[in-house]
Chain A
C-alpha cells in the first residue's frame, strides 16, 4: 500500500458521507471521492479514468449502526 492510499484512508476516516447513499461504493483518490454508486464495476471503471487502480481506496458508505 503506497503513501497516497494511506493519505486517502486518513481522508476516509474524517469523511462524513453527507451527499452519499448508504451502501454505495466509493472510490477515493487525492483526498476526494472521485466515483460512487451501487455497481462496483462501474465505480472502478469511472475512477480509473482519473487515477490508476493502485492509488485508489475503495470503501462503502455506512450511515447507521450495525450488529454483525
Chain B
C-alpha cells in the first residue's frame, strides 16, 4: 500500500517559499471519538506529539502526574506525558491504521505547531521524500 501526498507550500513573506510534509489523518480516541486533523512528518522528533487539547477532545487516557521532560531544538524544556492513539491514514480506496505511542504536550500556552508525527510513527512505515517533485509517499 502506497499513499502519495503533495507538499504544502508556505510563503514566508520575503520571497521565500518552504515545503512542508503534512498529511491528513483520522485520530481515534476513546468511546468512538474521531478527529480528522493534519499532522507534520518530522523524523527528528522522537514521538508522535499531540497537543493537550487534541488528547482531551479524543478523551485519551493519560496520567497528568506521570510527567516526562523533553527538549526542543532551542534547548527549552517542555513537559509531556505518555499515551497511545489509533491513527488512520486513507486516500481514495487505500486505508491503513496503526496504534502508536504518543507524547501529550501538557503546556497549552506554548503550543503553536501542528501535530507532530515523529519516530514512533515512522516505525510503522517506509517514507520517501521527493521534494524536487513536490511530493512524498508513505508505504506500509
Chain A residues near B (Cβ < 8 Å):
1, 5-6, 8-9, 12-13, 16, 22-23, 25, 39-41, 44, 53-54, 56-60, 62-68
Contacts and interface: CB of A to CB of B under 8 A. Distances in A.
A39 B42 CA distance: 25
B113 A66 contact: yes
B39 to A, nearest CB: 9
Give 3 nearest A-B pairs by CB, closest first.
A40-B53, A23-B112, A9-B24
A68 to B, nearest CB: 5
Interface of B: 6, 8-13, 18, 20, 22, 24-26, 34-38, 40, 42, 44-45, 51, 53-54, 57, 72-74, 88-92, 111-114, 116
Contacts of B89: 1
A39 B40 CA distance: 20
A68 B73 contact: yes
